[in-house]
Amino acid sequence: MYDFTFEITYDAGADEYVDLFIDRESLRSEALFSCFDPTELWALESVTGDPTDLAAVDELLLDEAVDRESISARACNSTRTASLLTEEQRRRVAYTYISDVDFCESVPLIAAKYVDGGMLLEQTRTDDRVRWRVLVQDDSKIGHLYDTLSAKLGEGLSFSFKHLTEVDHWESGLLSRADIRAEQRETLNVAVERGYFETPREVTLDELADELELPRSTVSYRLRRATAELATRFAEQQL
């Protein structure tokens, strides 16, 4: 297997969806795409950030008229269906299915024209950068894919090659997310962001409880369970 990684950088104003990430530094998106032919694809996207920043994402995330896939100046001509799978204070998970593609110059659909047998793609959005990882069985057409992607970029987008590496395994942060309960994950995210684990601590347990509007004992319990489960998973991975 081969891991082809590259990055697309967006100027402000070049893409409506990316502009949200440029303007709101807390936002981060991780998405998985699967595409077996140039006529359809599905995506699973997890967006995390401050509650006020996520509120700005909600409308575009589920708007089936918004084209979040095209990297060229021409919009996709396809059918898009979107649904919200998870809605937490600091995290959204959305599923998007794109079908009946007549025209769409998106990374997955362009790649499907060059890669036989399907592929798995991972996308990470932060600030003005969108990083792509493409897992393929054969690297013989990666050069053609590289040239095509570079040539298709619309105004305000730039392409940067990172690496092409042969791998015997491939891990995704979205799929390998530690198996902790949603409420524990939310509490842990707030604790990390507010500096609870810094030395010295930047926020107290009482202050976290006030922000989360929960009893102090509940916040303490969730943090203990989350850190215990994460520590157990870490130890198991080292064996």
The DSSP secondary-structure symbol of 76 reads: P
Would you report the helix, strand and coil content of the chain in percent, each value rounded to 5?
35, 35, 35
Does residue 236 register a pLDDT over 80?
no
The model's confidence at residue 199, banded by pLDDT at 50, 70 and 90, is confident
Q: Is the predicted pLDDT of residue 54 greater than 70, yes or no?
A: yes
What confidence tier does 192 reach under pLDDT thresholds 50, 70, 90?
confident
* Cut 0.75: pTM above it: no
Given this model, what pLDDT does residue 44 score?
92
Q: Mean pLDDT over residues 75-86, rounded?
A: 89
Which phi and psi (to 5°) does residue 74 adopt? Answer: -105, 130
Output b/e per residue, 195-229; b: 16+ Cβ within 10 A. ebeeeeeebeeeebbeebebeeeebeebbebbeeb
The 8-class DSSP code of residue 167 comes to -
The per-residue pLDDT for 173 is: 58
Residue 200 vs residues 38, 197, 223: alpha-carbon distances, Å = 53, 8, 18
